[in-house]
Amino acid sequence: MGIWTDIQRHQLRQGLIPRHVAIIMDGNGTWARRRGLPRTAGHARGAEALRRAATEAATLGIQYLSVYAFSTENWKRPPEEVAYLMKLFGQSLREKVPELVEQQIAIRFLGNLKKFSPTLQKLMRRAEQKTSRPAPRLTVNVLINYGGRAEIIRAIQKSKNKKVSAATFAQYLYTAGLPDPDLLIRTSGQLRLSNFLLWQSAYTEFWFTQKCWPDFNGRLFRQAVRDFQKRQRRQGGLA
């Protein structure tokens, strides 16, 4: 990494670093189509972009990175694409765990995991166990077969017959114990939530870029954090 990158990071660390950043990793298919490649090639490059983002987040001192990897609606895609994504998840889980351990990054999977093959479920649980530690530099939450509406309905069922407040209700969500995201990034120029962290993003700052997910890098991540530092968060009060 160049000296300018170090200076940029140093400057960012003088300001408020978001504790929790959420990312809608969108535009893999678009990235591939523009290059005349199959959509699957975009997904493969997207996995590399996630690796870069996690390293940057850890370096900046972000504590939680929550990434949208597969939505409850993504099953609607052609079976070949879904099958490729499952293969890619399995491959990443088999290969990347030692690197996560080395970087002191913990990984967790949030969503309805029961829909995945027993092998994938086992790989996910094993990755969680192997990377879990008392004080990780960063925790990466991978939201997979996740949907905000399904999550809220599940929480309602879990909290049935209990008296709940906003704070106690949050304990029934997949994100129990995590702070709400401070910053949410979405790539590929789409300006919507697509059922991501509906409850949790009530007061989150949003940041969008035209760049597709496979082109996301540390420089863009730092730009998002720099823009975040200029925002004035009011949460209903006065500045």
Q: How far apart are CA 62 and CA 58, in angstroms?
A: 6
Q: In Å, how far are 45, 65, 86, 89, 235 from 221, measured between CA atoms?
A: 17, 12, 27, 23, 24
In the complex, what is the shortest distance from the CB of residue 223 to ligand IPE, in angstroms, rounded to a whole number? 20
Q: What is the 8-class DSSP label of residue 182?
A: S
Q: In Å, how far are 56, 62, 96 from 158, measured between CA atoms?
A: 36, 30, 34
Q: Which of residues 25-84 bind Mg ion (CB under 5 A)?
A: 26
- Contact call for residue 26 and ligand IPE (CB under 6 A): yes
Tokens of 230: 């200029």
- Contact call for residue 30 and ligand IPE (CB under 6 A): yes
- Contact call for residue 25 and ligand IPE (CB under 6 A): yes
In the complex, what is the shortest distance from the CB of residue 30 to ligand IPE, in angstroms, rounded to a whole number? 3
90 by Cβ neighbours in 10 Å (0-12 / 13-18 / 19+) ranks as middle
Per the annotation, the verdict on 28 as an active-site residue is no
Q: Which residues pair with 24 in a beta bridge?
A: 68, 186
Nearer to ligand IPE, 17 or 124 (CB): 124
- Contact call for residue 92 and ligand IPE (CB under 6 A): no
- Contact call for residue 24 and ligand IPE (CB under 6 A): yes
Total of chain residues touching Mg ion, rule CB under 5 A = 1
Asked if residue 188 lies in contact with residue 210, where contact means CB atoms within 8 angstroms, the answer is: yes
- Contact call for residue 69 and ligand IPE (CB under 6 A): yes
In the complex, what is the shortest distance from the CB of residue 206 to ligand IPE, in angstroms, rounded to a whole number? 14
Interacting residue ranges for ligand IPE, rule: CB under 6 A:
24-30, 68-71, 74, 85, 188, 190, 192, 194
Show which residues are catalytic.
Answer: 26, 74
Binding residues, as ranges, are 26, 31, 39, 43, 71-73, 75, 77, 186, 192-194, 205
